[in-house]
């Protein structure tokens, strides 16, 4: 339009040029002539041909309307009613028609702004443009995350939704390590998945080695003291991403979405992600997978993903081919050192004739000779500890619980705990939550939390004593009446045994005025007992 306006001012504009511009713009020829006339009056109109100028009285969206749109979650009709109510109270100008308000909002606000005012930042992020990171090289950057599988799995006779913890390589889209936990994940799940990701020997590999950086999303398990210390000792930098920014670790987030649509949706017990406030429903007669079977199938799918699946960013290659074609050298860690770095340090303990004293319990091993050593342990795996030399750090050996309770005692303790929870009607899920070990290979779910025989017997004795005290009924047999000369309140006299004589009321009888001081009053004779009274008694 600016070029046509310049030709018209020079007197060189022809009808053919205007007709060609109209064909290019997809409008009629007279519309171009009208735009030229408006541009001669205001050159700013040439930049936006066809737009109505502000001097025509066009309604525009103000900051007040933006605030009202955010208040009413993008409801334009509600904003129009609010503006009309304010105008009726004399607090502003009368609003335009509802159609004019709709038209102004669509014109002055972008789709992302409208979505953000209606649904918040997450809704607005769907309209953003994200720049893809360069692919990099293998083991340059890993990403890790927890995801709860929308599949009900049978764990100890109960239907549970297991959690999956995995590490993925951003350059090759390979799943380097995975761990499955029947219950809530913890730092133990992260350490188990990390060991399976770093090791390259059977049954792991060929993916593995130490990465240069790992991206996490502020999860407390990934930023715990034990996990952070393990990354520091392994010389791995941890990048803590801001909260609510899943697009910054798009590789693992894409894997979370892909595993549901490509694998989990076809399993028995699959439950779609419900809306907030809606319960998960499933057929009552549906047979669920066992935890071991679910873990085996997930590992098979992981193998298929790494060796057969061809993601679009790899341009026809599988993650295994992309990994093998990358010449970047790998940093490996010996298995013994890896176990040392991924255990929690509990300080120095002295080895005595009773073994190692840890958490008020004794641990023994065949190698113990009475020397001092540092104790390291897997979080929540208190049935076994690892002992290292206090001075040199040399690995001495494992130590097991000296007096571990039998399976029958543990089951009895768990039943007593469950009965106590039901009896008290309190939410003890946080303190009595059952923990399970993370699995990197198909195996039966392993409960965590070891008990000694003494602890089991003490807890069972406490539970049985509590049961007897709860069954006691102190008011079942009323107490005997006090002696007749006692002055007992009438409220307590009614609670005594009816076969006893009633006590004398506590209120004293008036003393006749004709008695001498200190002389006892004469009590009335008791009435004679009749035959009817004797029969009645």
- Inform me whether the pLDDT recorded for 316 exceeds 60: yes
Strand order in the sheet with 384-389: 344-350, 372-377, 384-389, 395-401, 361-364, 356-358
Pairing of strands 487-488, 504-505: parallel
Kindly report the pTM of this predicted structure. Answer: 0.58
- Of 147-156, 187-196, 310-319, the poorest mean pLDDT is in 187-196
Structure tokens at 458: 């003490």
Residue 534: predicted pLDDT = 42
Domains of the chain are 2-56 (no CATH), 63-125 (no CATH), 141-325 (3.30.420.10), 343-401 (2.30.30), 407-468 (no CATH)
Q: Residue 75 — pLDDT band, cuts 50, 70, 90?
A: very high
- Inform me whether the pLDDT recorded for 27 exceeds 80: yes
- Inform me whether the pLDDT recorded for 440 exceeds 70: yes
CB count within 10 Å of CB 177 equals 25
Residue 207: predicted pLDDT = 92
Nearest to 142, CA basis, from 238, 232, 227: 238
- Inform me whether the pLDDT recorded for 212 exceeds 50: yes
CB count within 10 Å of CB 145 equals 21
Within its chain, how far is the Cα of 49 from the centroid?
53
Residue 240: in which H helix or E strand, if any? strand 237-240
Residue 510: predicted pLDDT = 52
Residue 32: in which H helix or E strand, if any? helix 29-41
What percentage of the chain exceeds 70 in pLDDT?
A: 70
Q: Determine the Cα–Cα distance for residues 311 and 135; give it in Å rounded to an integer.
A: 13
- Inform me whether the pLDDT recorded for 113 exceeds 70: yes
451 and 410 Cβ atoms separated by less than 8 Å: yes
User: Of the ranges 18-32, 46-60, 336-350, 403-417, which is most confident?
Assistant: 18-32
Residue 82: predicted pLDDT = 92
Residue 78: predicted pLDDT = 93
Q: Is 449 exposed, middle or buried (0-12, 13-18, 19+ CB in 10 A)?
A: middle
Q: Determine the Cα–Cα distance for residues 291 and 310; give it in Å rounded to an integer.
A: 29
User: Of the ranges 10-24, 262-276, 362-376, which is most confident?
Assistant: 10-24
Ramachandran assignment for 251, one of left (phi > 0), alpha (psi -120 to 50 degrees), beta (any other):
alpha
Work out the average pLDDT over 90-105: 90
Residue 343: predicted pLDDT = 64
Q: Determine the Cα–Cα distance for residues 126 and 123; give it in Å rounded to an integer.
A: 6
Q: Residue 503 — pLDDT band, cuts 50, 70, 90?
A: low
Residue 171: predicted pLDDT = 93
What percentage of the chain exceeds 90 in pLDDT?
A: 24
- Of 83-92, 310-319, 373-382, 402-411, the poorest mean pLDDT is in 373-382
- Inform me whether the pLDDT recorded for 532 exceeds 60: no
Q: Residue 475 — pLDDT band, cuts 50, 70, 90?
A: low
């Amino acid at each position: 339009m600016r070029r046509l306006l310049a030709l018209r001012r020079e007197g060189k504009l022809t009808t053919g040029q205007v007709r060609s511009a109209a064909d290019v713009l997809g409008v009629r020829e007279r519309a171009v002539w009208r735009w030229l006339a408006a541009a001669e009056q205001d050159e700013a109109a040439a930049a936006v041909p066809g737009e109505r100028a502000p001097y025509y009285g066009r309604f525009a969206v103000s900051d007040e309307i933006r605030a009202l749109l955010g208040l009413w979650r993008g409801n334009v009709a509600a904003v129009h009613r609010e503006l009309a109510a304010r105008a009726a109270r004399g607090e502003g100008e009368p609003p335009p028609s509802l159609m004019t308000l709709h038209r102004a909002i669509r014109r002055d606000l972008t789709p992302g702004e409208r979505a953000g005012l209606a649904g918040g930042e997450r809704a607005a992020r769907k309209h953003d443009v994200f720049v893809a990171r360069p692919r990099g090289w293998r083991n340059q950057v890993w990403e890790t995350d927890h995801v709860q599988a929308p599949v009900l799995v049978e764990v100890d006779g109960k239907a549970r939704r297991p959690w999956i913890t995995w590490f993925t390589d951003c350059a090759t889209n390979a799943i380097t390590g995975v761990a499955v936990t029947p219950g809530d994940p913890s730092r133990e799940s992260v350490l188990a998945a990390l060991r399976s990701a770093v090791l390259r020997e059977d049954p792991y590999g060929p993916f593995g080695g130490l990465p240069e950086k790992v991206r996490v999303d502020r999860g407390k398990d990934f930023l715990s003291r034990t996990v952070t210390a393990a990354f520091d000792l392994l010389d791995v930098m941890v990048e803590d991403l801001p909260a609510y920014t899943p697009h910054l670790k798009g590789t693992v987030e894409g894997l979370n979405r892909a595993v549901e649509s490509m694998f989990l949706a076809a399993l028995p017990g699959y439950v779609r992600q419900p809306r907030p406030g809606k319960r998960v429903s499933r057929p009552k007669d549906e047979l669920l997978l066992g935890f071991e079977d679910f873990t085996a199938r997930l590992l098979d799918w992981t193998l298929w993903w790494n060796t057969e699946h061809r993601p679009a960013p790899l341009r026809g290659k599988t993650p295994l081919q992309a990994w093998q074609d990358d010449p970047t050298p790998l940093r490996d860690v010996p298995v013994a050192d890896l176990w040392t770095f991924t255990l929690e340090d509990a300080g120095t303990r002295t080895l005595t004739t009773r073994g190692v004293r840890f958490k008020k319990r004794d641990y023994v091993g065949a190698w113990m000779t009475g020397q001092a050593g540092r104790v390291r342990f897997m979080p929540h795996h208190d049935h076994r500890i690892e002992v290292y030399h206090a001075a040199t750090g040399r690995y001495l050996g494992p130590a097991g619980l000296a007096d571990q309770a039998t399976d029958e005692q543990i089951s009895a303790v768990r039943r007593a705990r469950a009965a106590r929870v039901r009896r008290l009607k309190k939410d003890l899920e946080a303190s009595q939550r059952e923990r399970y070990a993370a699995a990197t290979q198909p195996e039966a779910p392993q409960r965590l939390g070891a008990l000694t025989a003494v602890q089991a017997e003490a807890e069972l004795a406490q539970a049985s004593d509590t049961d007897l005290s709860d069954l006691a009924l102190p008011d079942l047999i009323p107490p005997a009446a006090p002696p007749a000369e006692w002055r007992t309140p009438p409220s307590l006299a009614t609670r005594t045994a009816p076969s006893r004589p009633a006590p004398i009321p506590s209120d004293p009888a008036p003393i006749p005025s004709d008695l001498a001081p200190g002389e006892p009053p004469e009590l009335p004779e008791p009435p004679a007992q009749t035959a009817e009274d004797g029969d009645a008694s």
